[in-house]
Amino acid sequence: METGIRKLNKWQSAVMTVGAVLLVVGAVMYVLMLFRGVASWLTLVGALAFGAMQCLQTYKGTSITMHRLRTIQIIAALMIVLAALMMIQDTFMLLPLPWQYQVQWVHNNWVVAMLAGALLEFYTTLRMQHELEKEAKKT
């Protein structure tokens, strides 16, 4: 039985890379207040592309640790998508939230969701690489 993370094909890798670039460019544009409307949509498109391609990278092995890390990685991707949705709500106010909820829960709080998602992505990437190396040494 084949173990390890399923590799993406060339097109899927390209979509993941473009998604990551759009995600970062959109977030930087938003922080610098450059075309905030465009920046928030760029971030959402990038987050969706990156997260979707990450979901395609399934794990076929039996390691409980790897399955746990994959779950954390998916949660991190969802947090980044949530951050992008919060950017859109902060910019366009599409949901008719009362002012105090908009300020308390949405306004600039996308940074918290983005940071938490990014840190979890970083952690899982490093740990998964370590776990895959341990798994390869066993075989």
Query: CA–CA separation, 92 vs 37, rounded Å?
Result: 7
What's the pLDDT tens digit per position in 7-20?
899 999 999 999 99
62-111 pLDDT per residue, tens:
899 999 999 999 999 999 999 999 999 999 999 898 988 888 888 889 99
Q: Rounded to whole angstroms, how far apart are CA atoms 7 and 59?
A: 10
Domain chopping of the chain, boundaries: 10-138
Nearest to 83 by CA among 118, 59, 52: 118
Give the three-class secondary structure for 62.
coil
As a whole number of Å, the CA-based R_g of the chain is 17
- DSSP 8-state class, residue 6: P
pTM: 0.92
Q: What tens digit of pLDDT does each residue of 20-69 get?
A: 999 999 999 999 999 999 999 999 999 999 999 999 998 988 899 999 99
pLDDT band at 2 (very low <50, low <70, confident <90, very high): low
Are 37 and 91 spatial neighbours (Cβ–Cβ below 8 Å)?
yes
